[in-house]
Amino acid sequence: MPGPRRAASAAAALLLAAPLTALGTAAAPGTALADTGYTWRNAQIQGGGFVPGIVFNETEPDLIYARTDIGGAYRWNPDTERWIPLLDWVGWEDWGWTGVAGLATDPVDPDRVYAAVGGYTNSWDPDNGAVLRSTDRGETWEVTELPFKLGGNMPGRGVERLSVDPNDNRVLYLGAPGGNGLWRSTDHGATWSKVASFPNPGDYVANPGDGSGYSSDNQGVGWIAFDRSSGSPGSPTPDVYVGVMDKENTVYRSGDAGRTWERVPGQPEGHLAIEGVVDHENGRLYISTSDTGGPYDGGSGDVWRFDFATEEWTNISPVPSDSPDNHFGYGGLTIDRQNPGTLMVSTQISWWPDVQIYRTTDGGGTWTQAWRYGSYPERINRYDLDVSAAPWLTFGENPQPPVTSPKLGWMTQAMEIDPHDSDRMMYGTGATLYGTDDLTAWDAGRRFTIEVKAAGIEETAVNDLAAPPGGVPLVSALGDIGGFRHDDLTQVPDMMHTRPFHGSVTSLDFAERAPHTFVRVGSSDNAATSRIALSTDGGANWWAGRQPAGVTGPGTVAMAADGSAVVWSTEGAGVQVSTNYAGSWRASSGVPAGARVEADRVDPDRFYAFADGGFYVSTDGGETFRSSAAGGLPQGGGSVRFAAVPGRAGEVWLAGGTSGGAYGMWRSTDSGATFTPVAGVDEADTVGFGKAAPGADHPAVYTSARIGGVRGIFRSDDAGATWQRINDDEHRWAWTGAAITGDPDVYGRVYVSTNGRGIVYGDPAGGG
């Protein structure tokens, strides 16, 4: 995800072997610039993205954390059974820190928690990673920046790279990607140094030919596991095991608290150790392995047990890699601390027909499985899967057996049995977090219940938002799960947009004068699915439109104020216009391919487009465009958002730009013939409108911007003459540059897009 850039951290200049001191303290509760009087909430979706990590504190019951790949970290609230977001304070400049590559809760001092953060190791994220540390369970944080990047949203992100020594909680280890090796802190995460004696930085690369760097980075050093029984409280644990992303040398150990290291002899070769768990009561290490780092793939794997006393490795795979029935790697691995002979392991990925979960109560001697075949394709499940809390998890599908909807899961690399309660287990999928509270019914031969346990986790990337007038619900365009119509912001919708289903909806619009009429464009894994859909009932039901020949991607779309025309700026076929609800298309003239398009909110014949610093206007319903003489606008198209003002024909506001060039906000009142910079706006990235303030004659204007040197969400009630920051330093949500809109019926209410924290909406104190 592209985002704003900032100067390289001073930490980057430090030698890798040198200790790294704390470089700054992050914004924390109580540090807001001012009381904005706004209350912030999420439009309820529950989940929506990948949960690669779940961590139970081994000392204190009900202290549980979860990490996501783009949506930050969360702490479980046992009183409400909801998750509390912990990283909403992350700001625009450090947007990558909402990608959490590792999470650790302190078993000695449960108030301490740590997060290793950073979005990407390639050029997409310009900044280095960091280790966040908290002494109040994530309420406030301090930050130590690292001299290398972390990949919270990179391949291999299900590997848990951060761990606290259970005997000496001053000591933490961090496994780094990119060939940066193993790192250690001896002062509760305040400073870090590279473990110079660690011999192997890893060598596994998912796809060496990937020029973007996303799949061609060395996935590096992975998990760290301690044998607490080898030491005593107050001193560093002597016996430490580390997983390395190297198929021939994947497990290392130290017997002297990390001073020296050796490759564990006799270890299995040919796979990567995805997870490692020590049974310190019985003196064993268990590992789950796969031929890839995941989370999207893995076609072979095993589960192994290493006995400390005999130094023997035993293959205890439920389905060994040399079996013709093995077509998957193993991912999530967990041990029942109340009964250490009981373990569970999941298939890392098994797209068809479903993920599988295995359970043993005799240390891997025998296994049972969550589901099995009867008379094919009959499927016999040990569990009941209850998705009533998020019914959209069926994706509106009714597949043929043995596939079920909802699925048991996919991308399952996080799975943990509660160390204090053998009946509780949670696991992550690519779309939600599931859990059960009656797990031991499995062993008694009774069906147990799996439920959605994602309340409070909002992990969607928001691409566009539409809030029509007259009480029509909020309609969203999201990545991965398409988007929703929210009849009630406090309730999870029954279903996302379907018929057709677009896995990623990039743009949507409605007819301002016929606000139940909608259009959306998006992409699908099914090449036969049209990329455009329409609705005449406010997004409750959709039908697929025809698409022009040559379309290769969804682009952006706009609908005439009365619904009489749709202008679609496609990828592959340029800008097209339809006057029969996407039944047929004609190429628009005078407008560049790839332009961003919008509709006037009053005049149905008027459409607008922007591309590479040029503004274009159509007065014949999108058939032809002419170039405006307006100059001084930002170059590029992807970094610019613009919108026409409801109820005011010909008024257009434009926001965007890039550092080093034109970057700000502009206003036109003559249909784009001229634009005037909005004074006082340093940088702006989105613009939207809502109900006017009492006594005002212009709609309220909202923007994600930097004004007066401060980044935030702002509102103007006087057409940009003055601005009020309405969020605070506790509520920044990292990158908010995709979309913003006010509510046309409720003064002061604003809907904000985030890249991983879902749809955030704010209301003034006391309501709008």
CA distance readout (Å), 42 to 97, 243, 656, 753, 763: 20, 38, 25, 10, 11
Contact 242, 173 (CB under 8 A): yes
Would you call the peptide bond into 391 cis, given omega within 30 degrees of 0 as the criterion?
no
Pairing outcome for strands 343-347 and 586-587: unpaired
Interatomic CA distance for residues 103 and 699, integer angstroms: 44
- In this structure, the dihedral spanned by the alpha carbons of residues 487, 491, 497 and 499, taken in order and rounded to 10 degrees, is -90
**Tokens 């010909």 sit at which residue?**
650
Pick the closest to residue 125 from 165, 156, 87, 93 (CA basis): 93
Cβ neighbourhood burial of 426 (10 Å; 0-12, 13-18, 19+): buried
CB-based contacts of 469, cutoff 8 Å, min separation 6: 512, 515, 646, 744, 745
- What are the beta bridge partners of residue 105? 113
| Phi, psi (rounded to 5 degrees) for 436 | -135, 150
Would you call the peptide bond into 377 cis, given omega within 30 degrees of 0 as the criterion?
yes
Interatomic CA distance for residues 237 and 528, integer angstroms: 57
Contact 388, 394 (CB under 8 A): no
Catalytic residues: 69, 480
Contact 549, 534 (CB under 8 A): no
Pairing outcome for strands 383-386 and 448-452: parallel
Contact 626, 590 (CB under 8 A): yes
Interatomic CA distance for residues 691 and 66, integer angstroms: 38
Residue by residue, DSSP assigns 476-542 as EEETTTB--EESSTTS--S--S-SS--SEEEEEEEETTEEEEEEEEEE-SSTTS-SEEEESSTTSS-
Strand runs labelled E in 524-618: 532-535, 543-544, 553-559, 566-571, 575-578, 586-587, 596-599, 607-611, 614-618
Interatomic CA distance for residues 734 and 754, integer angstroms: 7
Interatomic CA distance for residues 725 and 321, integer angstroms: 57
CB-based contacts of 324, cutoff 8 Å, min separation 6: none
Q: What is the 3-state secondary structure (H, E, C) of 12-63?
A: HHCCCCCCECCCECCCCCCCCCCCCCEEEEECCCCECCCCCEEEECCCCCCC
Interatomic CA distance for residues 224 and 103, integer angstroms: 12
Distance of CA 436 to the CA centre of its chain: 24
**Tokens 């078993």 sit at which residue?**
107
End-to-end CA distance of the chain: 33
Contact 241, 224 (CB under 8 A): yes
